[in-house]
Structure 1
């Protein structure tokens, strides 16, 4: 059964008491499962619907037009990832979906001539992105409290965060279009982020429970699905569990909105001293959210 958590309204207005209440609500779930639905999040439903409208409009454009927004290292991976562009993490083929990324960039790397170029088709999605950023901050503060840390512990790692919003399209014909020989449209993986917040217009997302069983994530009107990712698991030395996930082979066209909450470029994520010791040695190696992340994206996208 999927865990469900009631939030105290929009995260931009949460008090310390509110964050403590959220920590109490998600603490056990973060330790045992790493995923849950959130209700009463305060993000306007119309804004989410409008983001889907923008997404559908973009994916209906001719391929030549979509390719003008090609995601490359030079765009800091903002923009369009065409069908078959992303290599699978688990098999020799490619992922059966089209993707688009909007969000923040860093001054640590070369910037595209105009970031606005990559956001031009998605004004409502960009507005949604800012709402999800508040929600991500609030949930991360609650995670910190459950770890026995100050609620603002992670704030120092979020001065210029590389949060991203993924707008994903899984066409019913995409698996055959890329010659897929597997029973899923997106390979099993754990996100390189702190946490991910997701909405989907059709079922398809699956998460792996602690007993290694794959569970279908239903569509729940008015709720958003949250799952923890690599960086929280690594920082907490496994106290909080990252959720492996995949997308099943879809039966009809499916879209999803996938927000990833990320720290600054170049932050070294390693198990915290307060959560390690002789009885609990570090079980995760340090990971640099700058070069290590870029290397991972190069391997997935191939250029």
Structure 2
């Protein structure tokens, strides 16, 4: 059901991230309890694991990779035609290299932001709720629209399945999260392109994205064969290289909060040392915008690691809806956009 993969960072002992076949959760055929137990161990020990048996069509992902590379190879003016400022409060579209900040520092990547495709008459769109609305797609790569929306739908199904496994791993009913938080999940999808890191005499590398944790419940990441993802384990950084046919899965701040620190959101970062462009597709499966995120009642003691966290912030002190939490985070990532589109 599981196996180990990955090698430790240079100079470190080899430490594996588990590879978990989630087929029984996706199909309903097989031992779901055994899979859930493996997920629970991974969440407690690493906060990261690889997912296989997910059922997402490999041909769809290959097509999306080809289309993504076509988009990022376009002239700058064609990419800027769908820049994020044109997405308004929906927070969708393109940003150039250095346009996104992590811990106040520009990331060495460019990207496309997508989310659930909502019509103009949707109540939240009419109300101007941030991160809700229509996507922006490039006219120069017309097939990208269908591939993105099909991928979002497929990965949403996987997200629901894995969250059932997480619920079972915590001794809860399989529908615990769906009934409270993810009946209508907030789903966000990104296409990222990381150019090669420039040679530098400084000791600090040029990070594609700096150290951070994810905000919500669950992230599923497809990555090409360039490598570069690193996961923090204690004081060490472990490489999480691509495994064909897999997604890298990690848990976010809200699951950390719900479990009072038993399942921790793990810091990670990216440096592209491959000497060529690196492509990745992170998919975020998060609570509904209006959901008030609360700890699971069975857990009383808080295992708070804020002193060791990259931002020194405690996810356990937060009070409010997931929308409140997310907006506070992403508005720091795009400060100029925040001034233009937020109330």
TM-score of Structure 1 vs Structure 2, range by shorter chain: 0.7 to 0.9
2:167 pairs with 1:144: yes
Q: Which residue of 2 aligns with 1:115?
A: 134
Q: Which residue of 2 aligns with 1:275?
A: 299
What do residues 215-242 of structure 1 show as CA deviations (whole Å, max 9, x unaligned)? 1111111122111111111111111121
Q: Which of 149, 162, 168 is residue 192 of structure 2 equivalent to? A: 168
Q: TM-score, normalised by structure 2?
A: 0.78
CA distance 1:19–1:80, change in 2 (3 Å):
farther
SS at match of 2:44: helix
**For the residues of structure 2 that align with 1:167 and 1:180, how far apart are their CA atoms?**
29
Shift of 1:185: 1.6
2:322 pairs with 1:289: yes
Structure 2 contact 25–161 (Cα < 8 Å) conserved: no
Structure 2 contact 48–249 (Cα < 8 Å) conserved: yes
What do residues 77-121 of structure 1 show as CA deviations (whole Å, max 9, x unaligned)? 1211221111231xx531100011212268435279971544863
What do residues 116-159 of structure 1 show as CA deviations (whole Å, max 9, x unaligned)? 54486331122111111111111111111111211101113123
Q: Which residue of 1 aligns with 2:74?
A: 61
SS at match of 1:239: coil
Aligned residues: 293
The CA RMSD over aligned residues, in Å, is 2.7
Structure 2, unpaired ranges of 5+: 1-15, 305-315, 338-343
CA distance 1:34–1:158, change in 2 (3 Å):
same
Q: Which residue of 1 aligns with 2:280?
A: 256
CA distance 1:253–1:117, change in 2 (3 Å):
closer
2:156 pairs with 1:133: yes
Q: Larger RCO: Structure 1 or Structure 2 (Cα < 8 Å, ≥ 6 residues apart)?
A: 1
Q: Which residue of 2 aligns with 1:77?
A: 91
Shift of 1:260: 0.7
Q: Which of 164, 172, 187 is residue 210 of structure 2 equivalent to? A: 187
Structure 1, unpaired ranges of 5+: none
Structure 1 contact 51–124 (Cα < 8 Å) conserved: yes
CA distance 1:124–1:74, change in 2 (3 Å):
same
SS at match of 2:84: coil
293-302 or 63-72, larger mean C-alpha shift: 63-72
Shift of 1:184: 2.1
CA distance 1:273–1:93, change in 2 (3 Å):
same
What do residues 165-211 of structure 1 show as CA deviations (whole Å, max 9, x unaligned)? 111000116x58xx9964422110001121111111120111112x2
Structure 1 contact 22–139 (Cα < 8 Å) conserved: no
CA distance 1:4–1:297, change in 2 (3 Å):
same
Shift of 1:50: 0.7
Structure 1 contact 101–166 (Cα < 8 Å) conserved: yes
155-164 or 140-149, larger mean C-alpha shift: 155-164
CA distance 1:264–1:113, change in 2 (3 Å):
closer
Structure 1 contact 19–141 (Cα < 8 Å) conserved: no
**For the residues of structure 2 that align with 1:147 and 1:219, how far apart are their CA atoms?**
28
